[in-house]
Amino acid sequence: MSEFMDKAKIFLGFESGPEELETKKVQTGFPAKTNLIKLNSVKQPNQAEVRVVEPRIYEDCLTISTFLRENKPVIVSLKYVDSQNGKRLVDFVCGTAYAINGHMLKIGENIFLFTPENIAIVEGDEHNSNEESLEVNTPPLLKATNVG
């Protein structure tokens, strides 16, 4: 009966549990023996996840927006949605992307890429065109010249 009462006191917070005692031992410098595994110490592979969604009704925009809010990029294909609902759906998801500082890119006819804030969209030709534009737009007085 006293074991039950001890567990009840620990559960209700009237007494320290064994976890608190072990953390106190760790803080004092004595080694703590435990069978507990901290979840932070378990190595999990870093997996990037891109969702591909083919909505069939306008309400599927809620699912797409949920993925974005969970920091998952989403590719949306509107091939099963009529044009009016497709526009509404894209507007809704664009609003979600804007609210979370995300990004949107049209990657094909009726295919869109939405990404959260932590994933930037970089187009393939953007890097090369920036280098060329710097060379073309450099004023002649600032170009390097050979003196001599």
pLDDT at 126 over 70: no
Report the first-to-last Cα separation within the chain, whole angstroms. Answer: 100
* Helical spans, DSSP H, in the chain: 2-12, 18-28, 61-69, 83-99, 126-137
- Looking at the structure of the chain, the number of domains it has is 2
pLDDT attached to residue 120? 87
pLDDT at 42 over 70: no
Phi, psi of 114 (to 5 degrees): -115, 130
What pLDDT digit, counting tens, does each position of 68-112 carry? 999 999 999 999 999 999 999 999 999 999 999 999 999 999 999
Which of 60 and 13 is assigned the larger pLDDT? 60
pLDDT at 139 over 70: no
Instruction: Answer yes or no: is 107 within a domain.
Output: yes
CB 86 within 8 A of CB 113: no
Instruction: Answer yes or no: is 148 within a domain.
Output: no
Task: Give me the CATH number covering residue 104.
Answer: 3.30.110.150
Chain centroid to Cα 147, Å, comes to 53
Chain centroid to Cα 3, Å, comes to 46
Structure token pair of residue 112: 């869109």
- Give me the sign of the Cα torsion angle 7, 13, 19, 24: negative
pLDDT attached to residue 39? 54
User: Which pTM does this prediction carry?
Assistant: 0.54
Instruction: Answer yes or no: is 132 within a domain.
Output: no
Q: For the residues 62-71, what does the mean pLDDT come to?
A: 93
Q: What is the dihedral of CA 125, 128, 133, 139, to 10 degrees?
A: 170
d(CA 146, CA 47): 52
Instruction: Answer yes or no: is 101 within a domain.
Output: yes
As a residue count, the chain comes to: 148
Which of 9 and 87 is assigned the larger pLDDT? 87
Name the nearest CA neighbour of 114 among 80, 63, 79: 63
Greatest Cα pair distance in the chain: 100
Structural domain that includes position 26: 2-31
